[in-house]
Structure 1
Amino acid sequence: MKASRGEHLFYSVNYVILSVLALSCVLPIVHLFAVSLSNNDAVTSGHVAFWPVGFTMDSYHLLIDRTPVIRAFKNSLVITVVGTLLNMLFTIMAAYPLARSYFYLRRFFSLAIVFTMLFNAGLIPGFLLVKSLGLIDSYAALWLPGLVSAWNLLVLRSFFEQIPEELVDAARIDGCGEWRLLYRVFLPLSLPVLAALSLFYGVGHWNAFFGLLIFINDAAKQNLSLLVQNMVQNQEMLQEINGQLSMSESADMLSQITPQSIRAAGIMVMVIPMLIVYPFLQKYFVKGMLIGSIKG
């Protein structure tokens, strides 16, 4: 069917608006990347836009050699991988019974889960609970309170409910019990929504900041988010980095880099892993969220 003139105009306006929005998201990252690879004179004079000027990797060398960025990266990796696995495991284990019509008190538990989306105890009771459980300075304080997202649980439950009962009946005739039915039938058919929910959980753990600020007092357990935040807001940290350099190193290296380029390098180290992972899950993202949230 041929599109009318009004439809062509509508599509053109949409393309323009979406292109502007996409550029507003991408260009700041490109600018930070260019700043992290530019020399001192170009950055301080404001000549760096979207391409490095006076290319140098000294900011990354200084970041890796003189800051605990490697340790913070490993901490972020542990928090993200373990946390996402725990989230997905318990979300699946909760969504499956709630999707089965013969599960007793199914409606009661579903309403109770929805209730938690509207009301919560608050920050202070949450902190007191974590403290009473002895989880302060433990990553469990980050994983356990948010072990299952109510929204993600409802999305996965909705997806499980859409799996044809005929397929379930055929599997039962072949001798599948509940565990085997979940593992052999439900999970293979749920890869799109599982990938989308894993992305949600993973990004949340990778960017975790407030929880670590409250529950983690040990500096050796801080993640990239806290380290980058300290670099952005704490000038003393950059002065400590400068103080660790010898006189010859300081004169040579600091002539090539600025605090802005070190901060930009720290932000890029935090952002790049998510930019690498996202394209592999993108094909599942929209499909998984749509078929997990629309009935029928």
Structure 2
Amino acid sequence: MRTTSFGDRLFFGLNYGLLALIALTCLLPLLHIASLSLSHTQEILSGRVTFWPVGWNTDAFTSMIEGTRMLSAFRNSVVITVVGVALSMLVTILTAYPLSRKLFPGRRYVTLAMIFTMMFTGGMIPTYLIVKIFGLMNSYWALWIPALVNTYNMLVMKTYFENIPDELEEAGKMDGCGQWRQLLQIILPLSKPVLATITLFYAVSYWNSFFNVMLYINESAKYNLAVLVQNMIQNQQLLQEIVLTGAQVEVVPESLKAASVMIMMLPMIVIYPFLQKYFVKGVMLGAVKG
């Protein structure tokens, strides 16, 4: 039985300590925000709230839902995310699959051309002009079409497809499977880890869309949660109006800010545990080879 040396124990101990410290820097601000959103107003004003709610109170969430366009913005975020993820996954799969097949002519040059776009892009102004020329302004298509394929996500999925044994493809051909049946009945059922991982990547990206929404969407009624929350956090006058609107409840701007951030984060926090078991496996098996 191999014994662990003092150097190894010291190395692992330092690593665990560093990782725990990094985890705390991510977790403690989240706990503080959650505590502010659920604490009583007097406890917030007195500065007694740290990492645990003091005087349980949900009035901040009530004021946000009843006194703002939070529900409509939430609905807009859901539409942007669900449709965007569906379109991006469809196009990413249809791009990665042929590029992973050895018989696909010119696949190396197509892959290199797509990798080129990771290092050099047209820039914001040309992209804006193209979106405007095609009449996509003030439409969610301006968010979906330019972001249909993320090259990194496509490469991860392509590499995962390449790692699936060729014998399965040969067996499918012997059974009379064409390329579509092989993709739908063999490749995709075996690719659940990478599909879940890339779905999560796209979902987080679309859910947190802020700059593109500000750039391409002109109507405030079409704003998503990211834009609405950012506007409320920066606009102190708007927060005061929300406080005055909810005169029947006792809230302060700090709790409103915290509640809006929690509403923004909760969907991704809820979804992640269901995909977490696929996450590490999908990234590792689909990692880009050197």
The answer for the alignment partner of 2:4 in structure 1 is 3
Counterpart amino acid of residue 284 in structure 1: Y
- What RMSD in Å do the two structures reach over aligned CA positions? 1.3
The answer for the alignment partner of 2:266 in structure 1 is 272
In the alignment, the residues of structure 2 paired with residue 197 and residue 236 of structure 1 have an alpha-carbon distance, to the nearest angstrom, of: 40
Q: Alpha-carbon deviations, 1:103-153, whole Å to 9, x = none?
A: 112122111101101101100000000011111111110010010001111
Percent of aligned positions that are identical: 50
Contact 2:88 2:149 in 1 (8 A): yes
The answer for the alignment partner of 2:198 in structure 1 is 197
Counterpart amino acid of residue 91 in structure 2: F
In the alignment, the residues of structure 1 paired with residue 127 and residue 223 of structure 2 have an alpha-carbon distance, to the nearest angstrom, of: 20
Instruction: Summarize the alignment of residues 166-177 of structure 1 with structure 2, pairs less than 5 Å apart.
Output: 166-177=167-178
Q: Alpha-carbon deviations, 1:62-109, whole Å to 9, x = none?
A: 111101111111111111111111111000000111111111121221
In the alignment, the residues of structure 2 paired with residue 70 and residue 230 of structure 1 have an alpha-carbon distance, to the nearest angstrom, of: 15
In the alignment, the residues of structure 2 paired with residue 294 and residue 244 of structure 1 have an alpha-carbon distance, to the nearest angstrom, of: 53
| Total equivalences in the alignment | 289
In the alignment, the residues of structure 2 paired with residue 114 and residue 85 of structure 1 have an alpha-carbon distance, to the nearest angstrom, of: 23
Give the superposition deviation at 1:206. 0.6
Give the superposition deviation at 1:243. 4.6
Instruction: Summarize the alignment of residues 92-241 of structure 1 with structure 2, pairs less than 5 Å apart.
Output: 92-241=93-242
Contact 1:72 1:222 in 2 (8 A): yes
Match of 1:290 among 273, 276, 284: 284
Q: Alpha-carbon deviations, 1:181-211, whole Å to 9, x = none?
A: 0001110111101111111000001111000
Aligned to 2:130, the other structure's residue is in SS state: helix
Whether 1:260 and 2:261 are equivalent positions in the alignment is no
TM normalised by structure 1 equals 0.95
Aligned to 1:144, the other structure's residue is in SS state: helix
In the alignment, the residues of structure 1 paired with residue 235 and residue 288 of structure 2 have an alpha-carbon distance, to the nearest angstrom, of: 47
Q: Alpha-carbon deviations, 1:237-279, whole Å to 9, x = none?
A: 113324534xxxx2x52xx311000010000001111111111
Contact 2:240 2:253 in 1 (8 A): no
Structure 2: tracts of 5 or more residues without a match = none
Structure 1: tracts of 5 or more residues without a match = none
Contact 1:80 1:202 in 2 (8 A): yes
Q: Alpha-carbon deviations, 1:40-74, whole Å to 9, x = none?
A: 22112211001112221111111111011111111
Contact 2:92 2:154 in 1 (8 A): yes
Counterpart amino acid of residue 266 in structure 2: I
Contact 1:162 1:295 in 2 (8 A): no
The answer for the alignment partner of 2:245 in structure 1 is 244
Q: Alpha-carbon deviations, 1:150-197, whole Å to 9, x = none?
A: 111111111111111111011100000000000011101111011111
Whether 1:72 and 2:73 are equivalent positions in the alignment is yes
